[in-house]
């Protein structure tokens, strides 16, 4: 069960409100790299957690933290919108800077939300929950979480670079740090379970009989004009210690597909029957 | 530039066509764990690849392979639909097995596609390209790719378990093997670049000054009634070798947010002004 | 800032696990009438709240409660999936009840989530955040919230009717009660601000000069063959006390639209130019 | 059955075509506050109307009017696009006002629609029909309709404030007036059926036995550090006259959730089994 | 401006209500082949029509008719749901036919709409307005409309085949006939403007200088192992009379793409810089 | 099965990188008129092709070519982003041209993709696969393909007009030419199967008994105030040679719909029962 403290997890100061930066910050709220996604992803993974209950605790604790990130980012968006222009009358249209702001800001910050944050990304596209990855497989979920935090830290670093507002830089430096920790903690679960050797291939419970292992450690080169790129994946032991990497040009092993004629009365054209 | 060979990458046999299994197989084509996603994800990553060109080659080679996976899975869906019932007339409605099939199959396999595969998941929801993760950061992208392949192998293992058609089992055992290799190869790129120590935190190019490092290796426990879950993430050196893990109860560090009164003429209620 | 207690807000018992009911319960999590929606709607309204701060507190307090509703419903979904069939082998296919369950349950509960809740509705369509209504106008938001809770209580009542599992009925009776309260509290804000007379029209701050008031209290009948339906809206004082209702057949007041010819080089056909 | 008159419901004049305002007007067509939504919402409610047939007539009459609103707004968008720049050649790029317009307008007004209206919102996101709320419950639907009209009038008021084109102001003042009436008429249905006391809780047909009424009129405070906000919802009779409001700190009443171990062969990691 | 007559365009009779058929009929309302799509597509094309005004009249007249198709199909869905089971209690679960219906019907017909039509397809996926194709080019739009009607008539034919309810068959035979006419009328516009020779290539206003005509009538064979398929498109005069068809194996004409190194501070990994 | 050559199908040169044009080019990648759509549409049609196998070959050959179009367009987007501003610091904000670029470019080209192409349209909306039209009916599919190519060529012509970069103009002139050919080839399939007379109505296999042919060739005029627009569709033989066109004012042929009262316990309001 959730509870709330009226203070923000981190202080939010905006010295130079900037409606364009408000639009950009939305990516950190409602983008696929954003906080709604991680909050909900960890929450749903927690609700489906089976096995050692400490992972459930880990997930729900961090889900809860991410909800607090949404909250202070939402405040940052609203503060950046404080002085947004609300009309496009003649004098405004003639000032190119105002025109650029009016054209460049998210129009729905004016029209729909009344100058506050929305659950959308920097293009104004609403977040959709299909991005909540929760498979019931601990390894797959930990990789998904590290991925989300990697994307999140890339985004926060880019936002940090974009702004020169000291308050925003300070807030983003906190987010960057938390994303560092969250990358660490999800990968630490993999370390704790034996690293790549213990974890891979995911799922590690698939019976050997279900895998055509002659295809499991071979890099297939589908290029018609280049050699296979050489690297850790083309020779030496596999990361799971179960095989040896090799490589081979790809080639068809199957039939030419054919579905024959269409059924009568199946809604096809007569000439297909 | 792409080319095509008329044969499938792998042979597809369906001994007992099953429209319900056709619906389930759609998840491997148009689901977030499916082949359209990985084909497009590796393709877009390749188009944005900067740095060592061999990673571009690796990405495009496997993108090309995944297109071939869509193709043989699409054939498998069509073959599973071969004997699907096309009417729900009285005699059919009275046979509970036929009724269950008619109710349980994807109705659009009858109505929209003419008994063939669609770019949708097992719920009939079309794939949307927001799931193509391509950040321009090699580390983030490799984790995203390993995640996609982990999800893919979880799915293929579940599909393998669901069916007892020998042809389908054979095809899925090939997919399971390829997903093994693809998990390996993306993580091998991380290994090649120094493993977690060299790669983390992602991006590893964020200047130290942009990070509030006092928050970078601390697990924050937001639970009101439980101790922080203990593990690799609560003590010892961090995975990147830059810090030491610790833990601490979470607490607010920011202000209580306030936006004051609404602007006159901003479309709010008078009582907010 | 958010915190978490490890216990659920309400007890969840499932005596007869039912994968079909699990699918139906998803509507209460990820449907437009569901708990993700209200949690996020109240949260975003709170983040944009301007005016009397007690409404912000009211919103965030209930947003927090709704997060707890997601949590216990998610547990209920997982418990209903406990004994779901995981294969469709011959013996299963011959049992019409098993066949009906396999066809009728959400296949992604098997394939994607590993037998646990997902942020999707009863059709498996992911929740999308465009349903988070937060306008910055207190009156509009309170109506939106009452609407959400009305839809929620209709849904919970229908779910109550569908099941005869005593644990599920008990849990739903709690949800029905909370939806009662939440309908009340949002409408109570309107009462507190003068009821319909004080609140309407929303926004009540639109200057009189911006409204063509001769059209403000007239029911326009667009029917060609029936009289206007008579009711509270066709005569008597308006609900806001500012006018008198009347009615009138609708008729065009504007021009026949014409855009003339297409610009040369605008990508139209020559015959349009 | 529908019919059409070739004239618009209201006159549309645009004196100073403005492609940025065209983008903003799209919110009133294809936004969640827009006319497609209300037209379709009232239409689908009418098609599902059960009970007194006059409400069906009311719904379909206004659905029909809203279709006419789409039509004149669509004309307004096209007229605002009349002089949009169609190229970004050197001389244009150097004029900051032209650059701001080219960057700020909806690029698909140039690229996709040939300078006319689209069924999208101000961000270019297509309207999706999940926003058509029609529950089969008269009370829930009337609140949903009042909500839609409240959002619509907030939007129209903001658009009125943004522009100083007299033709656009005139057209919006008509929309503002019609939204006033439509708010009134949907709430008038609630008045006619006994107001809040007769209507609440929605649905008012849920049997008393299905409701844990000890939780029906209690405000739960989930805040850890603040008193419950005081208001009409914390004491006194409930709006439906069935109870007395009270308040109480929220606390868990349920168990700590546990799903135990994962099933073998369920696609989880071995360590979860 | 639109008006409404209280009678349906066509009579709707359902002799044997069938909730599964109700689900299937939804495809004709909210599917991409459905009536919402064509109604809105013709409406938006009409609003953007430039050139000879009779095409605007043609479009709006048929848009209006399609609205009436939504209306009678919506009634058909509701009538098919008349006797849908509303509970899944023990006795029901034991009857495999009832179980198959409960599992097979759209659960939201029970949970969300109160046994009436929704603006969704047969999978319960809401219609989204990105399927409204309106380019401002008369030729492209007429092809899009013929496509929509072709898909619509394929669907209606399949629905006709699925049911043996005489009332439903009668209603569908009307839809099939109207789809015939609508295919005809849109292609007749192309005939009237000179057929393929006058219309193609679309747009026929693109200046010759903008087209690399040496690539305009050549079939490129990308197959590695098969000859180009022979047909009307490989030799003889082109359909627009401007060229001669030929064929040729496809081959790369461009460079190997390279983006070089990533910018410092662009959020990439160090090893990409 | 697919293979890849490391060179692009066509050369890509960008002389004056322009982030606004990069945004516009996205429409040709991830828009409904774009290359992902046609690549996937032809691919899925090929996978479902029944009847003469040469059409399968034709479809897959061109699907493969379209993948190569995505590839060179993706490179063009990245090259146009080469010099995009990466910060909005004070000096930048004061330069109106830089401000216009920062506001006008797709912010996710900075924030999410690291200056490379994304599978989104010019509004940043991700492509969704519901736009892949593949019905299993050869005639419907060929019309859908010609429609897609018509939209594609309209778009490419508009992009050609927008830019004055010689490299971009050259690349677009190639696309315009290929779209010419692809329009031709799909319509050539219709010619080969007897033109409109042989192909229409689609499907041409619907039994005559399933069609209420008295409604098949009649233009219904739903206008209240205008004569039916006269044209090829109002008199003379139908395009399929099966009938004679005529016209008639539309009028209701059905009943006034009524659903009676709501079921008790269906979640409706009492007053509906």
> ipTM score here?
0.96
The confidence score (pLDDT) of residue B91 equals 62
Superfamily (CATH H level) for D19-196: Ferritin, core subunit, four-helix bundle (1.20.1260.10)
Whether A158 shows a pLDDT value over 90: the answer reads yes
* Each residue's pLDDT tens digit, E185-226: 999 999 999 999 999 999 999 999 999 999 999 999 999 999
Neighbours of chain B (3+ CB pairs under 8 A): A, C, D, E, F
Beta-carbon contacts of B188 under 8 Å, excluding residues fewer than 6 positions away, are A231, A232, A233, A239, A245
Whether C89 shows a pLDDT value over 90: the answer reads no
Whether A92 shows a pLDDT value over 80: the answer reads no
Name the closest residue on chain A to residue E154, using Cα atoms: A267
**The CATH number of C19-195 is which of 1.20.1260.10, 3.40.630.10, 3.40.47.10, 1.20.1600.10?**
1.20.1260.10
* Each residue's pLDDT tens digit, E178-187: 999 999 999 9
Other C-beta atoms lying within 10 Å of the C-beta of residue B237:
12
Q: Which residues of E touch A154 (CB under 8 A)?
A: 267
The confidence score (pLDDT) of residue C94 equals 72
Say whether D233 and C189 touch across the interface (CB within 8 A): yes
Whether A265 shows a pLDDT value over 80: the answer reads yes
Task: Give the C-alpha separation, C113 to C8, whole Å.
Answer: 21
Whether A89 shows a pLDDT value over 80: the answer reads no
Identify which has the larger pLDDT, D83 or B206.
Answer: B206
- Of all helices (H) and strands (E), which one includes residue A2? strand A2-4
Query: Is the separation of the CB atoms in A117 and F117 below 8 Å?
Result: no
For residue A154, give the nearest of E155, E161, E267 by CB distance.
Answer: E267
Smallest CA-to-CA distance from F181 within F48, F76, F72, F69 is with F69
Say whether B97 and C102 touch across the interface (CB within 8 A): no
User: What mean pLDDT value characterizes chain D?
Assistant: 96
Whether A94 shows a pLDDT value over 80: the answer reads no
Task: Give the C-alpha separation, F12 to F4, whole Å.
Answer: 18
Mean pLDDT for E78-92 is 83
* Each residue's pLDDT tens digit, D134-187: 999 999 999 999 999 999 999 999 999 999 999 999 999 999 999 999 999 999
Task: Give the C-alpha separation, E211 to F181, whole Å.
Answer: 11
Whether E89 shows a pLDDT value over 80: the answer reads no
Whether B190 shows a pLDDT value over 80: the answer reads yes
Whether C241 shows a pLDDT value over 70: the answer reads yes
Name the closest residue on chain C to residue E95, using Cα atoms: C97
Supply φ then ψ for residue C128, to 5 degrees.
-120, 145
* Each residue's pLDDT tens digit, D211-261: 999 999 999 999 999 999 999 999 999 999 999 999 999 999 999 999 999
**Percentage of chain E modeled with pLDDT above 70:** 99
- Of all helices (H) and strands (E), which one includes residue B4? strand B2-4
Q: Which residues of E touch C105 (CB under 8 A)?
A: 103
User: What mean pLDDT value characterizes chain E?
Assistant: 96
Sign of the Cα pseudo-torsion (B45, B48, B50, B52, in order): positive
Report helix angle B138-162 to B19-30, nearest 10.
170
Name the closest residue on chain F to residue C157, using Cα atoms: F267
Q: Which residues pair with A223 in a beta bridge?
A: F4
Mean pLDDT for D40-56 is 98
User: What mean pLDDT value characterizes chain C?
Assistant: 96
Whether A121 shows a pLDDT value over 80: the answer reads yes
Name the closest residue on chain D to residue C206, using Cα atoms: D157
Task: Give the C-alpha separation, D67 to B46, whole Å.
Answer: 46
Task: Give the C-alpha separation, F148 to A203, whole Å.
Answer: 41
* Each residue's pLDDT tens digit, E19-70: 999 999 999 999 999 999 999 999 999 999 999 999 999 999 999 999 999 9
The confidence score (pLDDT) of residue F92 equals 62
Domain E19-197 has CATH 1.20.1260.10: yes
Say whether A101 and F99 touch across the interface (CB within 8 A): yes
Task: Give the C-alpha separation, B151 to F44, whole Å.
Answer: 23
Whether B242 shows a pLDDT value over 80: the answer reads yes
The confidence score (pLDDT) of residue E92 equals 62
Say if residue F195 is exposed, middle or buried (CB neighbours under 10 Å; 0-12, 13-18, 19+): middle
* Each residue's pLDDT tens digit, B162-183: 999 999 999 999 999 999 999 9
Q: Which two tokens stand for residue C160?
A: 């109550």
Domain ranges in chain F are 19-196, 206-250
Task: Give the C-alpha separation, E73 to C46, whole Å.
Answer: 42
> How would you label D179-215 residue by residue, b for 16+ Cβ within 10 Å and e otherwise?
bbbbbbbbbbbbbbbeebebbbbbbbbbeeebbbeeb
Whether B144 shows a pLDDT value over 80: the answer reads yes
The confidence score (pLDDT) of residue F169 equals 98
Say whether F122 and D124 touch across the interface (CB within 8 A): yes
For residue D215, give the nearest of C115, C160, C174 by CB distance.
Answer: C174
Say if residue A75 is exposed, middle or buried (CB neighbours under 10 Å; 0-12, 13-18, 19+): buried
- Of all helices (H) and strands (E), which one includes residue C218? strand C218-221
Say whether F118 and B5 touch across the interface (CB within 8 A): no
* Each residue's pLDDT tens digit, C129-160: 999 999 999 999 999 999 999 999 999 999 99
For residue A157, the distance in angstroms to the closest alpha carbon of chain E comes to 6
For residue A47, give the nearest of C47, C57, C78 by CB distance.
Answer: C78
Say whether B86 and A179 touch across the interface (CB within 8 A): no
Say whether C54 and D11 touch across the interface (CB within 8 A): no
**Percentage of chain C modeled with pLDDT above 70:** 99
For residue F225, the distance in angstroms to the closest alpha carbon of chain D comes to 6
The confidence score (pLDDT) of residue D107 equals 97
Query: Is the separation of the CB atoms in E42 and E145 below 8 Å?
Result: yes
Whether D100 shows a pLDDT value over 90: the answer reads no
The confidence score (pLDDT) of residue E90 equals 65
Whether A39 shows a pLDDT value over 70: the answer reads yes
* Each residue's pLDDT tens digit, A16-34: 999 999 999 999 999 999 9
Which of A123, A155, A156, A220 would you mutate first to test chain F, the one with the most F CBs within 10 A? A123
Smallest CA-to-CA distance from E67 within D6, F252, D113, F147 is with F252
**Percentage of chain A modeled with pLDDT above 90:** 92
User: What mean pLDDT value characterizes chain B?
Assistant: 96
The confidence score (pLDDT) of residue F156 equals 98
Compute the radius of gyration of chain F from its Cα atoms.
Answer: 25
* Each residue's pLDDT tens digit, F52-78: 999 999 999 999 999 999 999 999 999
The confidence score (pLDDT) of residue E224 equals 97
């Amino acid at each position: 069960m959730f509870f709330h403290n009226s203070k923000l997890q981190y202080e939010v100061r905006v010295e130079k409100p900037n409606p364009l930066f408000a639009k950009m910050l939305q990516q950190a709220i409602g983008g696929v790299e954003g906080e709604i996604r991680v909050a909900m992803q960890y929450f749903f993974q927690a609700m489906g957690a089976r096995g050692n209950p400490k992972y459930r605790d880990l997930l729900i604790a961090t889900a809860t933290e991410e909800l607090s990130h949404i909250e202070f980012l939402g405040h940052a968006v609203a503060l950046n919108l404080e002085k947004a222009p609300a009309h496009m009358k003649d004098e405004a249209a003639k000032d190119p800077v105002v025109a650029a702001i009016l054209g460049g800001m998210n129009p729905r910050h004016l029209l729909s939300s009344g100058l506050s944050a929305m659950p959308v990304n920097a293009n104004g596209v609403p977040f959709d929950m299909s991005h909540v990855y929760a498979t019931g497989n601990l390894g797959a979920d930990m990789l998904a979480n590290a991925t989300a935090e990697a994307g999140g830290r890339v985004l926060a670093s880019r936002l940090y670079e974009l702004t020169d507002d000291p308050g925003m830089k300070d807030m983003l430096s906190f987010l960057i740090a938390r994303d560092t920790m969250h990358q660490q903690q999800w990968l630490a679960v993999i370390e704790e379970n034996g690293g790549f050797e213990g974890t891979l291939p995911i799922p590690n419970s698939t019976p050997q009989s279900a895998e055509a292992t002659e295809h499991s450690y071979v890099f297939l080169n589908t290029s018609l004009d280049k050699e296979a790129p050489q690297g850790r994946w083309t020779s030496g032991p596999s990361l799971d210690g179960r095989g040896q990497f090799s490589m081979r040009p790809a080639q068809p092993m199957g039939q030419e597909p054919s579905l024959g004629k269409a059924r009568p009365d199946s809604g096809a054209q007569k000439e297909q029957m």
